[in-house]
Amino acid sequence: MFESLKFKHRMAKVISGFSKLSKQEKIDWLAKNFFNNQNEIIQTIQQYWNADEALQQLHDDFIENTITNFYMPYGIAPNFIINGKEHVIPMVVEESSVVAAASLVAKFWSTRGGFKTQVISTTKIGHVHFMFEGDKKELYSYFQEQKSKLYEATYSITKNMEKRGGGILDIILVDKTEELDNYYQLHVTFETKDSMGANFINSCLETMANQFRRNDIEIVMSILSNYVPECLVKAEVSCDVAELGGNNPEKFAKKFEQAVKIAEIEPYRAVTHNKGIMNGIDAVVLATGNDFRAIEAGAHAYAAKNGTYSSLSHCEVKDGVFKFWIELPLALGTVGGLTAIHPMAKLSLDMMGRPSAPELMEIIATAGLAQNFAALRALTTKGIQHGHMKMHLMNILNQMSASTEEKELISKEFENKTVSHSGVVEALENLRKKV
């Protein structure tokens, strides 16, 4: 009997046609079924709506079942010199030390030649995955007959891209039967210019699949790959070791190089090392309305391209010169998708001078390298917590509902002390006891 009542209670929270409800109806249903403090929850949800109804509607239409907006801090990191040009880089991130670290490192390298970047390639990849049990020679013969027709079949999709210098670069038939019985693929390479190109690539692939299919060819799926090892960008900094500054620049350079080499050979360290790089990269990817999940997946796959997960960045200290660089795949767009309709994404691109997709690759790779330099400098000198917890101090004080006066007094107390959560809580409690 008790179990039956529990089941009925669970079923009462299952709803059909939810997407057809109005936004307010969705919120009311949510509050009624999943919260006790309904009025407070509804008020919290509604206070994050934009006062501009048209702008709010734009955001509502980005995804299904939107009930409100989730704010993330939008900061800027100035003083980046990239290939001799000054940049301010927008960053959307919740981690307290990311923007501060990027800004500090940008200023540091602005007086040491700045960042040098180079786009190596912008090729993207997609596949038609299919099964075939027949004679391999006959399949290859069929592919050769069909290859020109595959181009022709997609012409209505590719003609505008071709006018901009992009399109389908090549189509090859790949035999994967040693890894999976009867499995083959059409491996297709693309150039999508300033578009990230996901919709373009997927539309081309599905059209090719329809053209290529026959009774003995079972199409499994047609989809782009977020692993783009030929869509590569490199960013680097270098200077004489003596220019690194500090009490002992030679020792710092050596420890820094050792830290990178540890990340190159130790996967446990490499994951955290690369996560720090992605702190900088994801923040700019988000600010420009690009797909940070695709960038993450592609970067981490590239970090494991040699069979062991390794560092995306590298360092060399040789003949008195310090050199630090990164090479990674970044499939980005500056037209289409959210970049074309999200007002803040458009503002971000305007801030950076309306970069082309390759130029955006260079900027974002630079942000990743700067973030990595900041983290490694902290790790090999004062330790990562010294600066990080200083930035985290305000978060702790806000959690404790500290007043403006309390924030000023506690900040002053921890000016020359290592910040810890327990230490801040204790200091604030002691301060309040005195009042």
Work out whether the CA dihedral 38, 39, 44, 47 comes out positive or negative.
Answer: positive
Phi (first) and psi of residue 154, to 5 degrees: -95, 5
Element spanning 89, H or E = strand 85-92
Residue with tokens 């000054």: 86
Q: Is the dihedral of CA 148, 154, 156, 157 positive or negative?
A: negative
> Is 236 part of the annotated catalytic residue set?
no
Residue 208 has which token pair?
């090719």
The full 3-state SS of 183-230, as one line of letters, equals EEEEEEEEECCCECCHHHHHHHHHHHHHHHCECCEEEEEEEECCCCCC
Identified catalytic residue from 23, 28, 59, 95: 95
185, 129 in Cβ contact below 8 A? yes
Q: Is 388 a catalytic residue?
A: yes
CA distances from 394 to 76, 124, 276, 397, 406 (A): 19, 43, 21, 5, 11
Q: Note if 116 is an active site residue.
A: no
Q: Name the catalytic one among 193, 300, 388, 390.
A: 388
- β-pair partners for 119: 233
Catalytic member of 194, 291, 359, 362: 291
Q: Which residues pair with 221 in a beta bridge?
A: 129
Candidates 275, 314, 342, 346; catalytic one: 275
Is 406 labeled as catalytic in the residue annotation? Answer: no
- Asked if 369 and 324 count as a contact pair (C-beta separation under 8 A), the reply is yes
User: Catalytic residue numbers?
Assistant: 95, 275, 291, 388
